[in-house]
Structure formats: C-alpha cells, structure tokens
Structure 1
Amino acid sequence: MTTDPRFERSARFWLRAYPRRWRLRRADEMVALLADLAAPGATRVDVRTAAGLVRSGWATRARTRPPLRHALAYRLFDRRVPARYRGWVRDDLEGASAPLRVVGSVVLVLVAVSVLLPLATGDRPHAPSWSAVVVALGMSVGLLSRGRRQLQKQSRKHLVPDGGEEVTADTLLFGWVMRDRLTARGTAGILTVAVGVVGLGAVAACLAAPTRLAAAACGDACVGTVTVARSGISPALLVALAGALAVGVLGSLLARRRLRRLVPVRPAQHARRLVRPTPRHRMLLVTLSGCILGVAWVEGTGRADLFFSVGVAAGALLVLPALLVVWRTSWRGPADLALVDALRIAFRGRQSRVDTFQEGLVPALVATD
C-alpha cells in the first residue's frame, strides 16, 4: 500500500521531535505504522497523534541525553562522554545544529566585543561596525569550510572506542569508505541561485555606489589610491559588465556542447556515494553569500569606495550562464551525475576522475534484517 505523500510529509515533520539517530533507524517503519492507523484518505497526522509524537519524542531526547556535568564537560572542555551517550554526541556532531553553533559562536564573540567589553571598561556599548560584521562573516566561512576535516577529527576523538570500552550502535571504527560527492541534481540549482543573488547584489552596488576607488600617482615610481566621486554610471563599467555577460553566454554554449558530449561517456564510479547538501553546506553557502552581499551593500551605500563589487559582478556574469546550463543538465541528465563532474566538464572540458576508496570511519555495528 502506497502512503499519501502529503501524509508522509506530515508524519516526518512531527517525528522530528525524536532524536536524529532514532529517526534514521525507525522513521520509515513509524511512518508506515502511522499511515496504517490513520483514517482512510487522511492527508496529515491528527492533532492527538501529533501531540503524542511530540511528547514521546522529547521524552526520548531527555532519556538519552547525558547528565549536565558530562554535557558541560563536552561543550566547554571537549571531554569524552560515557559510551552509552555516544549517540547523543554523534547527533551533535552530524546534526543540523552544528553549523548554527559555529555561526552563533562567532556572533557571540562579536556581541561580546561590541557590548560586553565596553561595559567592562566603563565605555558605552556600540553597534558593531560594518567592517566587524564582514570580518565575523569571513570567520564563519573559514570555520564552516573546515567542516569535513573538523568532523572527522571530532568523530575520531569522541566516537571511536578506547580499549575495553563498550561498543554501541553509534560507535565508529577505522575502515575503507566510499568518497562522498554532492549530487548535481538539486545542488546545481542551489549554487546557481546563490551566484545569481550575489551577482544581482554586486551589479546593484556597481550602479548605485556614489564613490569609487581609483589609482593616482603620488610621485616618481609611486602609485596610490584615492576616492573619486561618481557623477553617474560609467560607460566603461557598463561595457565591462556587458562584455562579461556576452563572454558568459558564449561560454554557456561551449559548456552545453561539452556536457552533451562527455556526460554520457563518464567512467563508472564504484567508490563513490552521491549525497545531498548537508546543513553545513547550506550554511556555508548562505554565510559566504551574506559576506559578499554585505560588502556590496557597504560599497553601494557609500560607506566604502566601489572596488570589490566590480569583480564580483563581472565574475558572476561570466559563470552564471554556464551554471544555468549545468542546472538544466542535472535535471534532464542522469541521476548519478555528481556536481564536481558536471562543473569539471562544463568549465574545463575534461572528463571526470575516477574516485578511489579512502580511509574513514565506519559503524562498528551494522543492523541487519
């Protein structure tokens, strides 16, 4: 019996009250059970059942959460928790809240420097400057970009058992694993939208900025920078942006030809696993886009001279047409197309590389039916 997609979405929404590890193991059978118990033709979980799921889910979270002293030692001093709480640690490392904590920690530092530090020194608190906000966003991008390596490091420390320690379903051991690659279907669209939004913001900054940065001679063999007021939109800037767009359109035609020729003859990838974007990927893309848009806003409002946004606008116009072609190919092409392969073929005209197995962490206990 097929479950109504609307009912399945509703059931999975309310099942989010349960811990992530519980959902990974039992969500499918729980959705099927709820569908069997629901009234004929139901498209959503009823209120009473939803309340019961929320109550049971939070009770499960409370029951499997480590005591406060262990949780604080883990949070503040990166100490290992007892083996029976290893599932909670794995959810903490791999769950959707991990990238939010990274950005939140940077924001907390920014608030402390802008508000708490002046209070401690007797000064008046002040709003963070635009430069501090951009630096904070840049720090967030740097921390999020280390996500995979940091996750491996933390998993080795907290999830690999010591000698004689209890082995649970969330215990990890060293082994050979497949190489994870982002799937092109869906991911290419997210990337294209992000580049389009960033490019639009940069173009708007180029058109609205009241000042620009220019080079000026300051003596023999000396060149400095000066602020020049803009009386209107520079024709040279319009020509440069139009030229970048024209080159991008021509490049998209070449990318389309490359994708049609090379995608059907891609080599088999037996050591590869296609995955969807994780919350860390999405947060990294949002933070990076926010950082670039923040600089564009600063330059567009005259708080800084126009310089960075010109390069961003030209770059976005160059790559956006080809990204649109990649997006279209990802939906109409094979489902096993990886984003890295599509971009490599479209922009470099080279065939995808064959991935090999790599050393990683694998579950110590594998459930079998």
Structure 2
Amino acid sequence: MTVDPRFERSVHRWLRAYPRRWRRERAAEVTALLADLAGPDATRLSAGTVVGLVRAGWATRLRTRPPLRHVLAYRLIDRRVPAPYRGWVSDDIEGEGSPLRVLLNVAVVVAVVSVLLPLAIGDRPHTLSGGSLSAVFAMSLGFLLRGSRVRRARGRKHLVPEAGEELTSETLLFGWVLRDRLTARGTTGLLIVGLATAALAALAACLAAPTALGAASCGHSCVATVSAGRDGVPVPLTVALVSAVALGGLAGLHARATLRRLVPLRPVQHSRRLVAPTPRHRAIVLVLTAGAVGIAWIEGTGRVDLFFSVAVAVAVLLALPALVVAWRVARTGPDDLAFVDVWSIVSTGRLPRVDAVEEGLVPALLATD
C-alpha cells in the first residue's frame, strides 16, 4: 500500500513525542499501521490518534528516562549513567534538542552573572555591554560548532560498554558507518535565508550609520558620545557596494556554468548518506545571523564606528548570487547532490572527491560480526 506523503509527514510530526531511539526502530512500522487504519484517502491523523500518540510518546520518554540523581550527575559532572539508560544518553548526544540545551545553558549563565549575582549583593541587574554580548555570542557559537569529533568522544565515554559488561541488543560499539553529508537543497536554502537577513541588516546600517563619532564633555567626570548625521552615502561606500554587486553577479554566472558542466560528472558515492540540516546547523546559522544583525544595529545607531557592517554587506553581496545559483541547481538537479559537492565544484572548479566510511556507533552485535 502506498502511503500519501502528506499522511506520512503528519505521522512523523506527531511521532516526535516518542524518544529518538524508539522512532528509529519503529517509525516505519507504526506509519504503515496507521495508514492501514486510516484508509487510502487520509491525508493526516485524526485528533484522537494525535492525542493518543502524544500521550503514549511522553509516557515512553518518562518510563525510559534515568532517575533524577543520575541525570544530575550526568549533566553536572559528566558521570556515566547505568547501562539500562544508555539509549537515553545516545538520544541526548545525537538528539535534536542538543542545540537548544546549549543556548539555554548560555542563557542561564548570562542570567546568573547579570541578574542574580547583582541582586544577591544588593545591586541592580546589570545591562550587558558590547564586550559581554560578544562573549555570549562567541560562547554560543563555540559550543554549537563542536562537531562529530566531540560527539564521538562523548560516545566513547558514555555509550561504549566497560570491560566485563554484558552485551545486549541495545549496546553500542564503534564501527564503520556511512559518512553523513548535508543535502545541497536544504543547506543552500538555509544559508540563503541567513545571508539575506544579514545583508539587509548590514545594508541598513551602512545607509543609516552616522558619519562621525566623537566625545564631548558633559560635566565633571562625564563624557558623552556625539554622532553627526550624514548627508547621503559616501562615495567610497557606494563604490564598494556596487562593485560587490557586480562581482557577485559575475561569480553567480561562473558558478552556474561550472555546476552545469561538472554536476553530471560527479563520482558515485557508495559510502555516503545524505541528511537534511539538523537543528544544530540551524542554530549555528541563527546565531551567526543574530550576531550580524546585532553588529548592524550597534553600528547603525552610532554606538561604534561603521566597519563590520560594511565588510558583512560586501561579503554577502559577493557570495549570495552564487549561493542562489547553487540552490536552483540543487532544486532541479539530482536528488543525491550534497552541499559538499556544490562547494567543491564552485570553489575549486574540480569534481568532488569520493567519500570514505567513517567511525561511528553501531549495535554491538553488528559491530562484532
């Protein structure tokens, strides 16, 4: 029986109430069963089925979650949890909620330093300065950029069984797995949204920023920042932006010709698995875009001299046309096109290399065969 794609998306959306490991093992079976029960014309789940799935999913999460003392020890001092809860740890390391926890941890640190500590000593909450905001931005981005190497290290510590530990069907060991590559279509679309937002903010800052900043005395031990309005856009800035637009257009034409010539000639990738951008990738783009918008706001309102917004605007205007071309090629091109293929072809003008398998976690019974 062929399942309507709309019905399948509806099932997958509500199955997210279940743990990731449960969905990985049973999602296809449950989808087929629900499709049989709903009938061939169903395009989405009924309200009663949705309520039942969500209730059962959260019950499964609570039932398979470690006791609070183990969760706190794992979160606070990075201690291993008992073997029966290794599946929960695997979901925590590889799951979609990891970026959100990173940003929440940063928010908690900021709240403690800027609000709770001043209140504890009888002071007023502190307003974050530019340096503090930069530190928060760098800390968030640094945590999010920790890639597969860090996840493998955490997997070795928390998931691989210790010597003498009995192997079960849920035990994981390190073995050779297919290399994950981001899809070209989803990744280029995500980058276009982020870069376009950053470009609009940077261009607004370039047009609205005051032309001069200075300091003036406002009394004893008082210095005020003074900004002067600007009459029109400076000629050097106009030349830089127009040149970036022209060069970006030429880069887009070159990228289109190169992609059309080399995409059909790509080597077959047997050791690759295409995946859509994960929440971690979306969070990275979100943090970078928020940083660019924040810098544009600071410079556009005259708090600091205009510099970074010009660099961001020029860089985005140079890169955005080629990225749009890559997105169009990915949208109409082969389904197995990865973002790394597009990047390799556009940046080097050569065919991408053949991927090799990489080390990853696999079920113990499979890893020992």
Does the alignment pair 1:21 with 2:21?
A: yes
Aligned to 1:221: none
What is the SS of the residue equivalent to 1:16?
Answer: helix
Query: Where does structure 1 lack aligned partners over 5 or more consecutive residues?
Result: 215-225
Q: After TM superposition, what 4+ stretches of structure 1 lie above 6 angstroms from structure 2? A: none
Matched-pair identity in %: 62
- Partners of 2:3 and 2:40 within 8 A in 1: no
In 2: Cα distance, 1:107 partner to 1:238 partner? 39
Contact residue 96 and residue 280 of structure 1 kept, 8 A: yes
Shift in Å at residue 194 of structure 1? 1.3
Aligned counterpart, 1:37: 37
Amino acid at match of 1:15: L
Equivalents in 1 of 2:48, 2:178: separation in Å?
A: 43
Aligned to 2:354: 354
**2: CA distance, partners of 1:179 / 1:52:** 36
**Which residue in 2 is equivalent to 1:104?**
104
Comparing 288-297 and 46-55, the one that deviates more: 46-55
Shift of 1:333: 1.6
1:38 positional shift: 2.3
Q: Does 1:149 align with 2:149?
A: yes
- Partner of 1:196, secondary structure, is helix
Alignment partners' CA distance in 1, 2:34 and 2:309: 52
Q: TM-score, structure 2 length as denominator?
A: 0.90
Shift of 1:212: 5.3
In the alignment, what sits opposite 1:251? 251
Report what 2:192 is aligned to: 192
Aligned counterparts of 2:143 and 2:65: Cα–Cα separation in 1: 27
- Structure 2 equivalent of residue 73 of structure 1: 73
For 1:116, what is the secondary structure of its paired residue?
Answer: helix
Name the SS of the counterpart of 2:362 in structure 1. Answer: strand
Q: CA 1:44–1:271 in structure 2 vs 1: closer, same or farther (change >3 Å)?
A: closer
Per-residue deviation at 1:213?
A: 7.5
Would you say the 8 A contact 2:344–2:351 is kept in 1? yes
Q: Is the 8 A contact 2:7 2:44 kept in 1?
A: yes
CA distance, structure 2, for counterparts of residue 2 and residue 75 of structure 1:
44
Whole-angstrom distance in 2 between the partners of 1:207 and 1:170: 59
Q: How does 1:168-183 map to 2 (within 5 A)?
A: 168-183=168-183
Tell me how far apart the structure 1 counterparts of residues 142 and 259 of structure 2 sit (CA, whole Å). 32
Specify the code of the residue in structure 2 equivalent to 1:34. Answer: L
Q: Give the whole-Å Cα distance in 2 for the aligned partners of 1:337 and 1:49.
A: 37
1:294-341: CA deviations, max 9, x gaps? 111111122222110000000000011111111111112222221112
Q: Report the AA paired with residue 237 of structure 1.
A: L
Q: In the aligned structure 2, how far is the partner of 1:363 from the partner of 1:228?
A: 66
What corresponds to 2:341 in structure 1? Answer: 341
Q: Measure the CA separation in 1 of the matches of 2:7 and 2:177.
A: 35
- For the Cα contact (< 8 Å) 2:210–2:227, is it kept in 1? no
Q: Distance in 1 between matches of 2:358 and 2:55?
A: 42
The 8 Å contact of residues 227 and 302 in structure 2, kept in 1 or not, is answered as no
1:239 lines up with 2:239 in the alignment: yes
2:332 corresponding residue in structure 1: 332
Q: Which moved more, 1:308-317 or 1:261-270?
A: 261-270
Give me the whole-angstrom Cα distance separating, in 1, the residues matched to 2:188 and 2:241. Answer: 24
1:209-237 CA distance string (max 9 Å, x none): 124579xxxxxxxxxxx987633321221
Tell me, in whole angstroms, the C-alpha distance in 2 between the residues paired with 1:358 and 1:47: 43
SS in 1 for 2:17: coil
